Amino acid sequence: MRIDRTHRGWFIGSVVAIGVATAIYVPYALRTPRPSGGSAIGLIYGSVGFGFMIFAGLLGLRKKFPVWRIGRAQTWMRAHLWLGFLSYPLILLHGAFHFGGPLTQVMMWIFTLVFVSGILGAAIQHFMPRVHTAQLPMETIYEQIDHVREQLAMEAGRLVDSACDALDGELSRASVGQLAAAASAGTDWDVTVADGLGFNEDASRQLRDFFLSETLPYLDKVGARDMALADPLRAKGMFQQLRILLPAALHSTIADLETICEEKRQLDQQRRYHLVLHGWLLVHIPLSYAVLLLGAVHAVMALKY
Amino acid sequence: MQRIRTTKERARRIDLMYFARPHWLRRWRFWLSCAIPLAALGWLCTMHAQGGQRVFSAGPLSRSHAVFTKQCALCHLRQAGYFQNVADKACLSCHDAPVHQASQSFTPTCISCHIEHKGSLQLTATADSVCTQCHADLHSREDSLHVAHSISGFSEDHPEFAGLREGSRDPGGIKLNHYLHMQSLLGPNHTRVRLGCEDCHRSPGRDKGAWSYAGVQLQPASSTRDMAGVRSSHDASYMAPPKFVENCAACHLLDFDKRFAEEQVPHDKPEVVHAFLEKRFAEYIATHPGEVHEAVRFDRQIPERPALVRMARDAREWVGFRVEETEDLLWRKTCKECHTLTAAAGPLPEIAKSKITARWMPRAEFRHDSHRMMTCESCHTKVTSSHETPDVLLPSITTCQECHRAQGPTKEFAEGRCFECHQYHNWRNEQRVNGTYDLRQLRGE
């Protein structure tokens, strides 16, 4: 989610909330011998902070049931971002900037990881979509990437077969005399019919070779960063070379192959971006559940004693 | 052949069943979301099984209670319901905590001053705020207060020490000129001596070193607890009041008659001295009966006394004359040099009590040995210029404030919070606590 003007109210509210919490905390800390979470003010900070944490955790439930009419998903997301952000300073104030005993220490370190991963995730989700849009005009649905990649390989195969078949067709229609002349022809630039026939046979073979040795393996392999076609500059050079070697009739096929390879490159890039865009959730979400669980245990035990 | 990108062609690219096959990221997220909280719960259970309730501790205990780390219930007494803090009852089962002042209008709970679960901090190192919650605007159940009404901190508005306030004087009954005693003087055996502070002022707990000029061993004096009735475990805290035998006798001789060479009268009450003199002169005349009828000039060393010649009729009268003459010398010159003597109803004078102040600040504690790196004169600046006994030579609060500030050790100053000098509990009223736990209970076995 982009943090744009629609977040202004949440931002101002959060700043005010932190300001108020600090304004209450400072005189309390100066007046109290050693402020702790067990004092009345400490308990208020702890309760509000834990409440925010629980609310932030409810986002997962809200996403599971998108049809529930309990506010817009965007509003929930904004609330998750800002209340989750607020919960950390409130919990720090609750513990008077001490991590306490074994349980609370573990909890606070996990919470710190959750907080940091959340901030990182928010930053990634703010900046990455722009990069995504600018660099990946051929993006598709992430889950479709493998399916699309297979289709690209098939499409490239069809294109090459079709082009080569056309050349082979011309060759099969040539007379015996023409084929003999072609066989005896030199490498002179004075192109004769015989030369043309020989040229077509060679071009067809070269195109198939290129497809089988370079294009198809690249399209078949996920990622394939080690292959020549994965590098746009090298790919451009290779296709340029192919255009020089092959007759003009094949140039449109070469251009299509180049486009297919470019699309494959973008799909690979999309896969990588997707990992960055969503990989942090592998840390953020499981640890959030852990901290909520430990927080609940801490709340019960701390209130009891 | 050109690539065909018709709508139908594009639509065919979509696998309509993709949602039925969750991506590996989603799968991992799900399994991690189950595994990590379960691992956290497992850790909690393991810790609980191994260390009892220690895992739920709000923080490490102070050093004095660290041994009970696994025994939460010793302090957190089992009570029904929630929001049960440690009650005073739990503290009082091991400690006696005498009240601060009988007239105090408010008695805080133990845990409001002694904060636990904050690591190896001294529990007595309380914040100033716990003191100033009353002392910043002090009210008493009694009408009059004997202490300042408003104190916010040592560095702010702490009043000057009581002994130095206007009109205060040293109540000591011994005449002493500090200035004179610190000059070059005629000492024992006609030697020149220059006294230092430590020649007369030593703490009772200090090693018994020889007095520099006479080889007189310093004897241990009473402990600080005895001195002022205020608890102090540090024998080296206060200076013991100087004693005549230890600190004065080498120079201030109490010889009384040339017949007894260097023998001296006891440094005691006039009655004891009188009895001693009668006994010694009686013994003398018994061994020298020929001297009874010798005329003795009553001149001695007192100029205003007329030089009478008196002759005794018998030994008893002779003893009476000699005792009278000797006491005249003692009461009017020797003793008077240091003591104030007043006429009493009987024949013997009364000697004012010495009243040497052992503790100038009875409501505060001070440790001389903690300040041993400094010279005495650097704090007691007026000593070398004091000529009069009533001069109070206690350092001013401003001297203390040069090093001690309420901000404490973290701010490049020495500790200056209230507890550094003051005790909340009146330990004079401390009662013995009878133990209630046995060793196994404490060890949690």
Residues A103, B55: C-beta atoms closer than 8 Å: yes
User: A213, A202, A215, A185: which is closest to A245 by C-alpha?
Assistant: A202
Same domain, A113 and A152: no
Same domain, A223 and A284: no
Quote the tokens at residue A214: 């370079």
C-alpha separations of A137 from A129, A134, A235 in Å: 12, 7, 18
C-alpha separations of B421 from B108, B205, B230 in Å: 20, 20, 13
Mean pLDDT of all residues belonging to chain B = 82
- Structural domain boundaries, residue A224: 142-277
**Which residue of B33, B70, B118 is the best one to mutate when testing the A interface, meaning the one whose CB has the most A CBs within 10 A?**
B33
Same domain, A123 and A62: yes
Give the list of residues 6+ apart from residue B55 with CB closer than 8 angstroms, or none.
A101, A102, A103, B44, B47, B48
Residues B130, A33: C-beta atoms closer than 8 Å: yes
Task: Reduce the DSSP state of residue B247 to 3 states and report it.
Answer: helix
- B18 contact residues in A (CB cutoff 8 A): 141, 143-144, 147
Residues B29, A34: C-beta atoms closer than 8 Å: no
From the list A163, A289, A305, the residue facing B36 with the nearest CB is: A289
Residue B219 is predicted with a pLDDT of: 34
Confidence bin at B101 (pLDDT 50/70/90): confident
pLDDT tens-digit profile of B337-349? 999 999 888 889 9
Flag residues of chain A having pLDDT under 50: 181-182, 185-194
Burial of B231 (0-12, 13-18, 19+ CB in 10 A): middle
C-alpha separations of A299 from A29, A38, A44, A174, B23 in Å: 22, 10, 12, 90, 36
Residues A304, B82: C-beta atoms closer than 8 Å: yes
pLDDT over 70 at B96, yes or no = yes
Residue A172 is predicted with a pLDDT of: 59
Q: Which comes out higher in pLDDT, residue B312 or B275?
A: B275
**Complex ipTM value:** 0.82
Residue B204 is predicted with a pLDDT of: 76
Quote the tokens at residue B119: 């690591």
Pairing of strands B350-351, B341-342: antiparallel
Cβ-based neighbour number of residue A101 at 10 Å:
22
pLDDT over 50 at B92, yes or no = yes
**Which residue of B16, B36, B82, B122 is the best one to mutate when testing the A interface, meaning the one whose CB has the most A CBs within 10 A?**
B36
Mean pLDDT lowest among A231-235, B7-11, B429-433: B7-11
Give the list of residues 6+ apart from residue A74 with CB closer than 8 angstroms, or none.
A1, A6
pLDDT tens-digit profile of A81-127? 999 999 999 999 999 998 888 999 999 999 999 999 999 999 999 99
Domain parsing of chain B, residue ranges: 258-337
Residue B227 is predicted with a pLDDT of: 39
Residues B33, A285: C-beta atoms closer than 8 Å: yes
Q: How many secondary structure helices (H) and strands (E) does chain A include?
A: 11, 0
Cβ proximity of A293 and B40 under 8 Å: yes
Nearest chain A residue to B417 by CA distance is A33
Same domain, A152 and A131: no
Rounded to a whole number of angstroms, the distance from the CA of A95 to the nearest CA of chain B is 9
Quote the tokens at residue B434: 């009878």
Cβ proximity of B101 and B426 under 8 Å: yes
**Domain count along chain A:** 2
Same domain, A22 and A98: yes
Same domain, A159 and A89: no
Same domain, A189 and A284: no
User: A204, A200, A166: which is closest to A185 by C-alpha?
Assistant: A200
Q: DSSP letter for B394, please.
A: P
Same domain, A147 and A245: yes
Same domain, A271 and A151: yes
Same domain, A240 and A295: no
* Phi, psi dihedrals of residue B9, rounded to the nearest 5°: -60, -45
Same domain, A18 and A59: yes
Quote the tokens at residue A198: 């020989």
Residue A175 is predicted with a pLDDT of: 52
- A141 contact residues in B (CB cutoff 8 A): 14, 18
Residue B143 is predicted with a pLDDT of: 65
